[in-house]
Amino acid sequence: MRDLLGGKGANVAEMTRILGADRVPGGFTITTEACVAYMESGGATPAGLDAQVADALARLEAQSGRTLGDADDPLLVSVRSGARESMPGMLDTVLNLGLTDRSVEGLAARTGNPRFAWDSYRRFVQMYGNVVHGVSGERIEQEIRALKARRGVTEDTELDVDDLRELVTTFKGLYREATGEDFPQDPQVQLDGAIRAVFDSWTGERAVTYRRLNRIPDSWGTAVNVQQMVFGNKGETSGSGVAFSRDEVDGSPEPSGDFLPNAQGEDVVSGVRTPRDIRELADWQPAVHAQLMDILRTLERHYGDMQDTEFTVEEGHLYMLQTRNAKRPAQAAVRFAVDAVAEGLLDRGAAIATIDAASLDALLHPTFGNLDYTVLARGVAASPGAAKGEIVFTAKEAVAAAAEGREVVLVRPFTEADDVAGFHAARGILTSEGGKASHAALVARGMGRPAVTGAGDVEIDLAAGEMRVGDVVLRAGDRIAINGTTGGITTDDVPLVEPEISAEFLTVLGWCDELRTLGVRTNADTPQDAAKAIEFGAEGIGLCRTEHMFLGDRQPVMADVILAADDEARTRAIDALRPLQEADFEEILRTMAGRPVTVRLLDPPLHEFLPHPHDLPEGSPERARVESLQEANPMLGTRGVRLGILMPALYEMQVRALFTAAAKVDGANVEVMVPLVDYERELELVRALIERVAQETGVPDGAYTVGTMIELPRACFLADAIAHYADFFSFGTNDLTQTGLGFSRDDIEARILARYIDVGILDRSPFETIDSPGVGQMLRMGAWLGRKTKRDLKLGVCGEHGGDPDSIDFFHHSGIDYVSCSPFRVPIARVAAAQAAI
Ligand code: ADP
Ligand code: MG
Ligand code: MG
């Protein structure tokens, strides 16, 4: 029921069923639909909500035997956000609601623990003011720091009742300053305010930013969970913590997590106090530890996935407050999949389904190339992978630097939800506070960014714009490197090296190969790329672009071909190019050792190979010639098959070079591909040319195939006619997106995309994930019409979409035979193809 109740609400209800009502505090959930109605009406309370909340509250009161905010024995509740997909820390939550000047005394008397009562009240006034009315969190922290300094103590827990009373008075003052009103003493007013605040937090800036980055639709809304409070701050046999059913960083089977005695949950995640490792729970309260371990196993079995939980212990009684499938770095995801199969928890298909294919990128990312670097400081290895770059101290600077193409490491004392955009922009994150469960660690792992947290020896002085370790002082712009796998930090210029694929990852990839039906090839133009792709499991080359072979020191020769004054000069220039091209092909064919290699004939507009007219002498014939070749819309101009029609000698040279190379390589498997075909006659003509050259070079029929890219709308609609001349189609989804949507790929990202996402026209770039209802339907029509003509027509997809998991799912269900993507996406495509098949 997560769509309706949000992930937290649905799982709290489910946990109550599995674990029993004495393990989960009671409560009720206001649905995401109510939030949507609230948003759509511009902030009016949805009809019927008040009555239903009153009704549900009455039942909770009856069940608990207490009344919300009662003067003698108050029921207190938390008001918790919870969206369909978890957005850790991005939405608001209010704890200890129901406390007032009167009920705090009742709670103190009833529990015989005034310190606890006043600690809860000061937390409530603080949180309610901050969350519901925007009282500055920084001001609040200042006041706490100031009071601790006056009392000469360092921990919140060392403040006594009078101190806490004083804080309540101070916070109420801040509240009055911010709102012009007194702090509400009516629990009903408090509850209404908190519910609205949770609704509002859905449209708050940090939640919106998080949704953009994680592609969560704005239209979902959040649920609101009103839940009876249990208290981790009641003394030394109480506490709060987070626990993962397995190690959340490497996926190994021992549960991991953090806890704090005598604390509410916020204290654990905020990094204000340094938490203790979950293993120490066994020394603190052995029975609770055993219960927790048992519950973690039960939940894992029930959900069939690694769990991330929050718990509170109240005077020795364990309560579970939340569970969800754990977000985890790629290596932990892979480790879990392999272990879950070995333990009989999941079958192979189900295990593979728990992996976020896109996250596997991180396994293919760099690590430190040497380990004998000078360690400047150490912190917690919070998110694996290594990164280096210039230091920046704010998220804003990180975003600005990334926009300029600079590589930066974001350095902060601790991070907050507002810093999320900076995470995205930075290569890596370094914090001086917090542990593995801190906000910085959580977000970094979710994004696949390397992170080192809690580096206690690093002193960060934001005001001075510097970080100090001992007597080393570093400023913004200085270079630093961090290793999120080990926790190491250094100023050495450590080389970053590409990773090896682990044995577990190989196992998973092997399972994927058995399950998938979609082939996976690679886009490669060089033998190096081809070799890398084979190592990653590519079954062939789906797109070998030939244009790169004409750049660099060959560009002048290519320019001669294009600018030749007469046929004779052109033939001479082409003859000079052919042996070079032949050698390129030979090397690639050898590397691919009999695997299919699709070679695309020249595609880009010719002027890309020419010097810029302004670099040529004014009035010179070369300049006039180059100017005459300039086009207003080069991407829609003289390119693709049009080159082959206008300048057949060029295509002929390429085909001759390819066939001559193939003749020298045993078992060469060549597929000649003609780009940008609109009309069947274009392909007919070029095919005739290819067949003639094959005869002239002595290549037998059947030793090669000829196909075309389908990358223009007309080609999709006329694919049945085109298929008469094609042995295969390869959908060029980049150009098909460009021409189908009329979006210039090179301009849309910078100008249009962000705005389109903001106003809800798009939720991601159509160049990243295929626009399935539009461009995707053209592709399906092309596939269907093509196969009407030739039942066994081979269909591939090349272009960025071939490495995108969501697009791969679509291609699988469109009857495509294989996708082709860049070498580093090949493992991701293998996993995504298996997930599409299960
Ligand atoms: P988030 O989504 O930001 O994690 P939660 O709704 O989970 O927000 O609340 C944050 C923390 O508040 C929890 O981890 C838990 O420690 C504490 N909390 C929430 N509800 C209760 C409750 N009913 N009793 C005790 N603590 C609670
Ligand atoms: Mg939570
Ligand atoms: Mg193209």
Compute, in angstroms, the gap from residue 194 CA to the centroid of ligand 1. 14
H/E element holding 299? helix 286-303
Strand order across the beta sheet in which 222-228 lies: 27-30, 222-228, 77-83, 93-97
Best residue among 23, 80, 116, 317 to mutate for probing ligand 1, ranked by most atoms within 8 Å of CB: 80
Is the predicted pLDDT of residue 443 greater than 80, yes or no? no
* DSSP β-bridge partners for residue 466: 461, 475
Cβ proximity of 524 and 545 under 8 Å: no
- The more confident residue out of 662 and 822 is 662
Sheet with 488-490, edge to edge strand ranges: 377-378, 488-490, 479-483, 386-392, 408-412, 428-431, 451-453, 380-383
Supply the DSSP symbol for 451. E
Of 775, 785, 778, whose CA–CA distance to 719 is shortest? 785
Say which DSSP state 766 is in: T
Q: With beta carbons less than 8 A apart as the criterion, state whether 305 and 327 touch.
A: no
**pLDDT score of 23:** 97
The single-letter DSSP state of residue 465 is T
End-to-end CA distance of the chain: 23
- Cα(734) to ligand 3 centroid in Å equals 6
- What is the C-alpha separation between 283 and 293, in angstroms, rounded? 14
Q: Is the pLDDT of residue 751 over 80?
A: no
Residue with CA nearest ligand 1 atom 12: 265
The whole-angstrom separation of Cα 690 and Cα 671 is: 11
Which stretch of DSSP H or E encloses residue 756?
A: helix 754-758
> pLDDT by residue (tens digit) across 795-807?
999 988 999 999 9
- The number of the ligand nearest the C-alpha atom of 79 reads 1
User: What CA–CA distance (Å, rounded) separates 716 from 786?
Assistant: 9
Q: Where are the alpha helices (DSSP H) in 416-521?
A: 420-425, 439-447, 503-515
Amino acid 46: pLDDT:
94
How would you classify the pairing of strands 222-228 and 27-30?
A: antiparallel
Domain edges within the chain: 2-230, 383-492, 516-539+711-838, 546-671
pLDDT (tens digit, 9 = 90+) per residue, 562-572? 888 888 998 99
- What is the token pair recorded at 347? 């079958």
Highest mean pLDDT among 143-147, 420-424, 515-519, 644-648: 515-519
For the residues 416-423, what does the mean pLDDT come to?
79
Atom from ligand 1 closest to the CA of residue 311? 16
| pLDDT in the model for residue 752 | 86
CATH code for residues 516-539+711-838: 3.20.20.60
- Find the 488 Cα to ligand 2 centroid distance in Å: 29
Is the pLDDT at 442 greater than 80? The verdict is: no
| 439 labelled catalytic | yes
Closest ligand to the CA of 545: 3
Chain-wide mean pLDDT for the chain? 93
Q: Indicate if the pLDDT at residue 116 is higher than 80.
A: yes
Confidence of residue 271 (pLDDT cuts 50, 70, 90): low
Question: Which residue(s) pair with 27 in the sheet?
Answer: 227
- The kind and range of the H/E element at 483 are strand 479-483
Report, at the CATH architecture level, how domain 383-492 is classified. Answer: 3-Layer(bba) Sandwich (3.50)
| Closest C-alpha among 170, 91, 175 to residue 133 | 175
For residues 816 and 265, the model is more confident at 816
Query: At residue 576, does pLDDT exceed 80?
Result: yes
Domain covering 2-230 in this structure, CATH number = 3.30.1490.20
- Nearest CA among 254, 229, 234, 195 for reference residue 96: 229
Of 112-121, 254-263, 628-637, 684-693, which gets the smallest average pLDDT?
628-637
Give the separation between CA 712 and CA 675, rounded to whole angstroms: 10
Ligand 1, pocket residues at CB < 6 Å: 25, 78, 80-81, 89, 93, 95, 227-230, 240, 264-266, 310, 312, 321-322
Residues 229 and 25: their CA atoms lie apart, in Å, by 7
pLDDT value of position 750 = 64
Instruction: Given the residues 35, 512, 716, 798, select the one marked as catalytic.
Output: 798
| Ligand 3 centroid from CA 817, angstroms | 19
Q: Which of 645, 612, 648, 617 is nearest to 630 (CA)?
A: 612
The DSSP code for 467 is E
- Residue position matching structure tokens 């670097």: 373
Q: What is the per-residue pLDDT across 340-349, written as a single tens digit (0 to 9) for each?
A: 999 999 999 9
Q: Best-predicted range by mean pLDDT among 296-310, 389-403, 448-462, 758-772?
A: 296-310
**Torsion over CA: 378, 380, 386, 387 (sign):** negative
Residue 11 predicted with pLDDT over 80: yes
Q: Which atom of ligand 1 is nearest to the CA of 225?
A: 6
pLDDT higher than 80, residue 767: yes
- Euclidean distance between CA atoms 220 and 201, whole angstroms: 13
What does the alpha-carbon distance between residue 766 and residue 344 come to, in Å, rounded to a whole number?
A: 40
pLDDT at 764: 83
Let me know: does 832 contact 802? Beta carbons within 8 Å: no
Give the closest residue (by CA) to ligand 1 atom 1: 89
512 in active site: no
Higher pLDDT, 235 or 342: 342
Condensed to tens digits (0 to 9), the pLDDT of residues 705-743 reads: 999 999 999 999 999 999 999 999 999 999 999 999 999
Q: Which of 825, 87, 124 is nearest to 521 (CA)?
A: 825
* Tokens standing for residue 514: 């058995």
**Which residues make beta-bridge pairs with 225?**
29, 80
Distance between CA atoms of residues 25 and 23, nearest Å: 7
Q: Report the C-alpha dihedral over residues 513, 519, 523, 525, rounded to 10 degrees.
A: 90
Average pLDDT over residues 786-800: 95
Residue written as tokens 């100023």?
A: 491
CA of 476 to the centre of ligand 1 (A): 36
Judged against a pLDDT cut of 70, whether residue 829 lies above it is answered with yes
- Do the two domains 516-539+711-838 and 546-671 of this chain adopt the same fold? yes
This complex has an ipTM of 0.93
Query: Do residues 548 and 623 make contact, with C-beta atoms less than 8 angstroms apart?
Result: no
pLDDT in tens, 52-68: 999 999 999 999 999 99
Task: Answer yes or no: CATH 3.50.50.60 is held by domain 546-671.
Answer: no
As a whole-number percent, the residues of the chain with pLDDT over 90 amount to 74
At residue 488's C-alpha, the angle toward residues 487 and 492, to 5°, is: 155
